[in-house]
Amino acid sequence: MTDKLVQPFSQKRTAELAESLSAGGTIKGRSLWADARNRFVANKAAMASVVVLLLVFAFSLLGDYLTQFDNETIDWDVMGSVKELGRPSLSNGHWFGFDESGRDLYSRVVQGSRISLSVGLVGAFIAVMVGTLYGSVAGFVGGRVDSIMMRLVDIFMSIPYMFVLILLLVVFGRSISMLFVGIGLTAWLDMSRIVRGQTLSLKNREYVEAAVAMGVSTPKIITRHIVPNLLGVVVVYATLLVPQMILTESFISFLGLGVQEPDTSWGALISEGVKSMNYGTLWHLAFPLFFFVITIFCFFFIGDGLRDALDPKDR
């Protein structure tokens, strides 16, 4: 109880309390989440990243409505034009240019953004769900169960995850759904170790011991008391996990093992852009690489902002 009442205050919070007392006012309590929200909003880099990331999501969802071309149709009118060479042009409607096959690059970047973001979010969601449940059960139950579960994690971590992912894609077929499952199921191991360590520090808290004394079942204790108190750590790690998923998908697609034609992703577009650099068409690489880089940076800045905002030592 004492550690909940006596908490360190920042200088700004202390000044606010002193000003309120000197003015004869009352002190209004603020929750941890309210303080975290205020600190996150005050982080300019994180807020700017949120705005940019929302624009990227809007581009991936609504970008198709701003062009007359789709990602599969070949524009034969521009294919025979030597002067165009696939350059971006407002006159012919190809804002990002067109690839070697005459397909609109803008539409393909929109589709690539949609697929890459979907793989990143869904893969991170699967990794977070599996890792959180696995780590919380191992940490709370403890004993021999904890030892067996964590030794299995050590064994799985000793196997190169990229080899496992490539093997899954080769055996079960190269599809978007397989990318979701493969990337998610190979990224939960670190999450389980983090959650297990946090669970060990939570299982001896008073409210958990009270629930055990009252005869509450283990699954209910884990879902109602352990997991909700892990949300801060889980959210921060998830924001850092999404760019890792996008990087993994892009690398797989760069190797030609990811999404297959006519679908595309950032990695596949970057791979095509690298091949077309020999012809001096740098924009084939520039546009997908631009969206790829700013998205990765935005997730990293948001993750850093959430980590600083949820740091209990900064309250």
Residue 113 lies in a domain: yes
pLDDT of residue 79: 61
Residue 300 lies in a domain: yes
Return the higher-pLDDT residue of 298 and 83.
298
Instruction: Encode burial over 264-293: b for 16+ CB neighbours within 10 A, e otherwise.
Output: bbbbbbbbbbeebeeeebebbbebbbebbe
Q: What is the CATH number of the domain that holds 288?
A: 1.10.3720.10
Residue 233 lies in a domain: yes
Residue 258 lies in a domain: yes
Residue 117 lies in a domain: yes
Based on the structure, what is the number of domains in the chain?
1
- pLDDT tens digits, residue range 50-79? 999 999 999 988 888 887 777 777 766 666
Return the higher-pLDDT residue of 185 and 116.
116
Range of the structural domain that residue 293 is part of: 94-314
Torsion angle defined by CA atoms of residues 12, 17, 19 and 20, in that order, rounded to the nearest 10 degrees: 140
Residue 25 lies in a domain: no
pLDDT of residue 271: 81
Task: Give the rounded percent of residues in the chain with a pLDDT score beyond 90.
Answer: 6
Residue 135 lies in a domain: yes
- The span from the CA of 48 to the CA of 302, in Å, is 9
Residue 188 lies in a domain: yes
Predicted TM-score of the model (pTM): 0.75
